Structure 1
Amino acid sequence: MEKYAVVVAGGSGLRMGTTIPKQFLLLRDKPVLWYSLTAFLDSFEDMQVILVLPEQHLETGKAILRSTYDPDRIWMTVGGETRFHSVRNGLRHIQRHSIVFVHDGVRCLLTPGLIRRCFNAAVDKGNAIPATRAVDSVRIETLDGNQQVDRNKIHLIQTPQTFYSDIIKTAFEQDYHESFTDEASVVEKLGVKIHLVEGESSNIKITRPLDLLIAEKLLEEREMGL
């Protein structure tokens, strides 16, 4: 079955305190985005990658994809006003029945193993959303203040969120709604049951300077086989 990864990289550097968008910041001498693209290339030999970038950063994107070992499997398209619109733009390039992964480009430590696990589960269930369980105590705001929530019922959602192409493409024909915080929420709006798979604690999202330091340490540990 054909496989497409829509990698969305439209973030800014505001929370990083830098003028450089976080997907282009260097992590061990390579852009953050490079690691995400490479993980998908490594996962399956027939994986095709659609990189979604703001128009003003297309040239930077071209340089990054040329630095990968198989740039012919990656092509680019322009993002939209929101993440929803950017994903929709990427999906328009997929015309064949396939499995589609949608991934946040700054979750740069995902592994080929996680990608394959999502693929297998999506083939079986129609979709697969990686998630980890909460380890901290959790409280929710109420009208009277706040109350404890059973953390064993809390799942922290990650990407790549993975779907049959006909499911996700149909879902993204809907009009945008502010409740659409990720692809699962868009698909769920159609009445589709969402299936969770085991994520990875190392699959962090680069949003703050500290995250880059953590990512560097995790890469070092991987190289050491820890």
Structure 2
Amino acid sequence: MQKFAVIVAGGSGVRMGMSTPKQFLLLHDKPILMRTIEAFISYDQQIQIILVLPSKEKTRWQQLCENFHFSITHQVVKGGENRSASVRNGLSAIDAEEGLVAIHDGVRPLVSPQIIATAYQVAEEKGNAVASVPLKDSIRWSKDTDNRAVDRSEYCLIQTPQTFKLLLIKEAYRMLRDKNMTDDASVLEARGVKINLIEGDYRNIKITTREDLRVAEALWEPLPL
């Protein structure tokens, strides 16, 4: 079955305290976003990559590709006003009627080929696959001035990739009414579809702060391309 990957890279450098958007910061001498794309190509060179970027960043990305001699084939799509709109734009750029699509954060460059492979395999068998990891810390429910302990074994942290049969997730996004959803699995779940969790990886971090970048630098291992 044909495979696609929608890489969503609409972040800014606000939480980094930098003017450069976080997806363009360097991870071991190459922009984070390039590392993320390479992770998917390391798994399968035939994956069709759709990169969703803010329109104002398209020129900067083109320049970076020239500067770093980045030659992996990909299609650049204009982002939307929020994440759900950006994902919808990315999905709309796929003309195929059948296939599997992984939706992935542009700032999760440490995703392993093994997780990507499992996600596509389970999605092909069951319709969807969402990477997750168990909680390590104790947690409490908190609202206003009230809080109470809850059982952490009943919760998990959700990562990307979130991988789907193409027609299922396209239809779910077409029917989406809550434009503030930031989780693709929730969009499909709102249509009454059961979500299948797969084992993620604590190393598959989302780089949003300076501390995250330091951790990613420490964990980085080169991928075979």
**How does the TM-score come out when normalised to structure 1?**
0.92
Q: Aligned pair 1:197/2:198, yes or no? A: yes
- What is aligned with 2:164? 163
- What is aligned with 1:129? 130
- What is aligned with 2:27? 27
Q: What are the ranges of 5 or more consecutive residues in structure 1 without an aligned counterpart? A: none
Where 1:158 maps in the other structure, the secondary structure is: strand
Where 1:27 maps in the other structure, the secondary structure is: coil
Q: Aligned pair 1:39/2:39, yes or no? A: yes
CA 1:30 to 1:48, structure 2 compared with 1: closer, same or farther past 3 Å? same
Provide the C-alpha distance between the structure 2 equivalents of 1:90 and 1:68, rounded to a whole number of angstroms.
Answer: 24
Residues 51-110 of structure 1 show CA distances to partners (whole Å, capped at 9, x for unaligned) of: 0000011122224456476522x1101000000000000001112200000001001111
Q: Tell me the C-alpha RMSD between the 2 structures.
A: 1.6
Q: What is the CA-CA distance between 1:11 and the residue it aligns to?
A: 0.4
Residues 127-179 of structure 1 show CA distances to partners (whole Å, capped at 9, x for unaligned) of: 00000000100110257721111111111000010000010000110244155
Provide the C-alpha distance between the structure 2 equivalents of 1:3 and 1:65, rounded to a whole number of angstroms.
Answer: 23
Determine if contact 1:65/1:71 at 8 Å carries over to the other structure: no
Provide the C-alpha distance between the structure 2 equivalents of 1:71 and 1:197, rounded to a whole number of angstroms.
Answer: 28
**How does the TM-score come out when normalised to structure 2?**
0.93
- What is aligned with 2:53? 53
Q: What is the CA-CA distance between 1:45 and the residue it aligns to?
A: 2.5
Q: What is the CA-CA distance between 1:192 and the residue it aligns to?
A: 0.5
Provide the C-alpha distance between the structure 1 equivalents of 2:206 and 2:189, rounded to a whole number of angstroms.
Answer: 23
Runs of 4+ in 1 over 3 A off after TM superposition: 63-70
Instruction: Give runs of aligned pairs for residues 137-216 of structure 1, distance below 5 A.
Output: 137-141=138-142, 145-177=146-178, 180-216=181-217
CA 1:68 to 1:183, structure 2 compared with 1: closer, same or farther past 3 Å? farther
Where 1:169 maps in the other structure, the secondary structure is: helix
Provide the C-alpha distance between the structure 2 equivalents of 1:192 and 1:179, rounded to a whole number of angstroms.
Answer: 19
Provide the C-alpha distance between the structure 2 equivalents of 1:193 and 1:65, rounded to a whole number of angstroms.
Answer: 39
Identity level (%): 45
